[in-house]
Structure 1
Amino acid sequence: MAEDVEKIIIPDEEGNEEVFEVLYKFDVEQTGKQYMMVIPVDGDPEVDEVYAFRYEENGDDLSLFIIEDDKEWEIVESTFQTLIEEEDL
């Protein structure tokens, strides 16, 4: 039986909505925040980048935040790489 894939819609700068598949959601102890890694549903998985966002959930509402701090980004990227390596084992 296929696993349910979580999808979210993220508007771009022009207001166009793009659908993304949520690859991972995870907490990072060092920052005390939650993050998700997403990839465009309609894209080419061989070419498209994986996007990372910090997120907060409030009931049914989901707020996404761009990770602008370099140090925070390094921590999130390192955590994501660890998750990928653990999954491949």
Structure 2
Amino acid sequence: MDNNVESVLLYDEEGKEIEFDVLTKLDIKDKEYVIVAPTGEEDIDAIALRIEKDEDGNDILVTIEDDEEFEMISEAYDAISSDDI
């Protein structure tokens, strides 16, 4: 995924398109992740997604379901977020 991407469009369970701001991109253990938050929504938590490639080589965003992987990403994001303060 291009480091200059500022927002992405994702779809909810009903197929409604929602714009998300890309807060940061992380490279951890040879995997890429993005942290996103709904555009204009300040009271909604950020979401971590893993970047994978589809069969055509295009980037796709995948929900992280493994608790250990999610915790690793959360800790990395918290560390860089606290550095920004």
State if a TM-score over 0.5 links the two structures: yes
Structure 2: stretches of 5+ with no match in the other structure: none
SS in 2 for 1:15: coil
Distance, in Å, in 1 between the alignment partners of 2:57 and 2:64 is 22
Name the Cα RMSD after superposition: 2.0
The answer to whether the aligner puts 1:49 opposite 2:45 as a matched pair is: yes
Q: Tell me the residue number matched to 1:7.
A: 7
Deviation digits for residues 9-64 of structure 1, max 9, x if unmatched? 001111110000000001012xx211111111132x1x111111011357883201
Structure 1: stretches of 5+ with no match in the other structure: none
Distance, in Å, in 2 between the alignment partners of 1:87 and 1:42 is 21
Change (3 A) 1:5 1:34: closer
Return the TM-score normalized by structure 2: 0.83
Q: Tell me the residue number matched to 2:70.
A: 73
Return the TM-score normalized by structure 1: 0.80
Matched length: 81
Distance, in Å, in 2 between the alignment partners of 1:57 and 1:85 is 30
The structure having more radius of gyration, on CA atoms, is: 1
